[in-house]
Amino acid sequence: MIRRSAGSVQSRRSQTAASATKDDGVPFHGELTRVKTIHLLRHAKSSWSDTGVADHDRPLAPRGERDARRLAKHLGQHGVTPALVLCSSARRSRDTLELIARSLPRKTKILVEDELYAAPAEALLQRLRRIPDVLPSALLIGHNPGLQDLALTLAGHGPGLDRLRERFPTCALVAMHIPAPTWRELMPGTAELIDYVIPRDP
């Protein structure tokens, strides 16, 4: 079961034609949207059973695997189709990505980056601002407290904001709309929180 709050994830976007180049140098012909959609996903619950494993290398716990599979189902059912996935290089983040990847479009670009591991909110925000403007949406998979701090920094209004202030548990997913045609225009307090979901064990 997925516990959720807030409204529909459907975007109300106004679009204009554009042609650009992706950050990997590959020409991209698409549409430049006036609203960007951001999803922030905290990695699923990790295992602490082996105390000799470095933090970066901890795998998912069985509960984390179950939660990630539930979230994958949620993504498919609600049409969450990010154009770009930015994922921390920590194993628990990569394992989470692997379990939800089947619900993502094949054309989704996936980048696994060391700089996202345990990054603070400001560093995460700066990374989002470097996304090519032609991409309308992004999913960021990372860690607390940085992700929750980033969500609260960006979100200015929307149902579920009080719940988000209280907690952002493992495998929680936040969706936000930002009224900006370019990613470099992401500013604190400008986002609308449109969805907040938490996987629950039956």
pLDDT in tens, 26-78: 334 445 678 999 999 999 999 998 888 999 999 999 999 999 999 999 999 99
What CA–CA distance (Å, rounded) separates 111 from 147? 17
Q: In whole angstroms, how far apart are CA 30 and each of 10, 85, 138? A: 19, 18, 15
What CA–CA distance (Å, rounded) separates 12 from 37? 10
pLDDT digits over 130-178, tens only?
999 999 999 999 999 999 999 999 999 998 899 999 999 999 999 999 9
The encoded tokens of residue 128 equal 């989002």
Q: Spell out a b/e string for 92-127, using b for 16 or more CB atoms within 10 Å of the CB, else e.
A: bbbbbbebbeebbeeeebeebeeebbebebeebbeb
Contact 43, 141 (CB under 8 A): yes
Q: Which residues, in sequence order, are CB contacts of 74 under 8 Å at separation 6+?
A: 2, 4, 80, 173, 197, 199
At 54, the amino acid letter reads A
pLDDT digits over 162-173, tens only?
999 999 999 999
What CA–CA distance (Å, rounded) separates 123 from 126? 5
Fold of 2-199: Rossmann fold (3.40.50)
Q: Which residues, in sequence order, are CB contacts of 4 under 8 Å at separation 6+?
A: 74, 195, 196, 197, 198
